[in-house]
């Protein structure tokens, strides 16, 4: 089949069983990994980027040739750079200086204008806090107003969870033959978890939110460690719009070192070269099989590629 554009290659990623890891750790159960790091922009955010832009063009909130602006850790920006480039929209990505430099370079290579915002006082490179994100959002709002642009708003636009309710969730269910008993995901914008849960929960699948240790705002806990190395989520922003009303089975926490170990385990044991958030998802799935989901089948998403972390401590 010849596709009309790379946008049409977004979706239908493979689902792979992590049998080697389960054997090595002597786990009672199975882990299935959705390889969204194989999407054109090397991350699951391609799905939301396509959905948001297509929905906005369809309902008229995004005009032909209008500029698109969005805050990003790099993954959503990469997806938007691809989709906007194909559909003829200038794209401005606004990101924190705390994110890895590979992400900014990739977005620029794809034709995006990248505005890098200095981190808040006391923040560390490689660790993006809620305070850092607030500064990025302020700049994104200003640029949107100045350029009469469309704000993609991954944290609020319905196209984000819709991409996963109609794509990721059904794909996991169909590819697994309906054997999945649990799903967990590191909550960034909350779109993946909300959308997948919308599809899988009515089918008896228990869905869990994964947050950084010490920053479990979604679980209703006080934030004691706002800084962490798991880029793209866990900003301790409190309630996420997309997860409002989502029926979750529980909230899991993963430390930075555990996420790092998970990513390294994926690489050396399963040949899956992924980033921090995928490592966090693996660590959470392991905890589930050692606890409430023992004997079950847990699905996770491999959120992005390890290539986006070569400048960080992930592969040192």
Please list the active-site residues. Answer: 45, 277
> How far is it, in rounded angstroms, from Cα 115 to Cα 254?
30
Q: What are phi and psi of 187, to 5 degrees?
A: -85, 115
DSSP code for 221 = P
Number of Cβ within a 10 Å radius of residue 179: 11
3-state secondary structure of 257: helix
Whether residue 143 contacts residue 113, with contact meaning beta carbons closer than 8 Å, is answered with no
- The number of CA neighbours under 13 Å toward the Cβ of 65 is 0
Q: Which burial class, exposed, middle or buried, applies to 145 when counting CB atoms under 10 A from its CB (0-12, 13-18, 19+)?
A: exposed
Number of Cβ within a 10 Å radius of residue 220: 9
Check the CA dihedral 147-150-152-153 and report its sign.
positive
Q: What are phi and psi of 221, to 5 degrees?
A: -95, 155
CA 219 to chain centre: 19
- The tokens describing 32, both together, are 């299935």
> How far is it, in rounded angstroms, from Cα 145 to Cα 189?
22
| Interior angle at CA 12, CA 206 and CA 66, nearest 5 | 105
Give residues with Cβ within 8 angstroms of 301, minimum separation 6. 33, 34, 36, 44, 168, 185, 192, 278, 281
Nearest Cα neighbor of 252 from 192, 154, 200, 183 is 183
């Amino acid at each position: 089949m010849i596709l009309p554009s790379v946008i049409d290659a977004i979706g239908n990623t493979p689902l792979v069983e992590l049998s080697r890891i389960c054997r090595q750790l002597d786990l009672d159960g199975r882990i299935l990994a959705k390889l969204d790091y194989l999407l054109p922009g090397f991350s699951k955010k391609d799905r939301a980027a396509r959905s948001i832009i297509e929905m906005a063009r369809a309902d008229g909130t995004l005009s032909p040739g209008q500029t698109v602006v969005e805050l990003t850790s790099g993954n959503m920006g990469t997806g938007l750079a691809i989709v906007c480039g194909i559909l003829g929209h200038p794209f401005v990505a606004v990101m924190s200086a705390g994110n890895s430099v590979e992400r900014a370079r990739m977005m620029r290579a794809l034709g995006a204008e990248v505005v890098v915002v200095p981190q808040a006082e006391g923040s560390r490179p490689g660790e993006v806090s809620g305070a850092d994100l607030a500064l990025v959002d302020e700049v994104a709002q200003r640029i949107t107003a100045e350029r009469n642009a469309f704000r993609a708003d991954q944290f609020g636009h319905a196209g984000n969870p819709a991409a996963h309710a109609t794509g990721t969730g059904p794909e996991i269910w169909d590819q697994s033959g309906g054997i999945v008993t649990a799903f967990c995901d590191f909550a960034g914008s909350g779109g993946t978890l909300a959308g997948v849960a919308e599809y899988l929960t009515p089918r008896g699948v228990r869905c869990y939110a994964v947050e950084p240790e010490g920053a479990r705002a979604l679980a209703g806990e006080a934030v004691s460690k706002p800084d962490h190395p798991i880029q793209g989520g866990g900003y301790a922003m409190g309630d996420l719009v997309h997860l409002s009303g989502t029926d979750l089975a529980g909230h899991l926490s993963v430390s930075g070192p555990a996420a790092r170990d998970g990513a390294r385990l994926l690489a050396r044991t399963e040949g899956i070269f992924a980033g921090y958030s995928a490592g966090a998802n693996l660590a959470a799935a392991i905890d589930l099989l050692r606890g409430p989901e023992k004997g079950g089948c847990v699905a996770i998403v491999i959120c992005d590629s390890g290539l986006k972390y070569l400048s960080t401590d992930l592969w040192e």
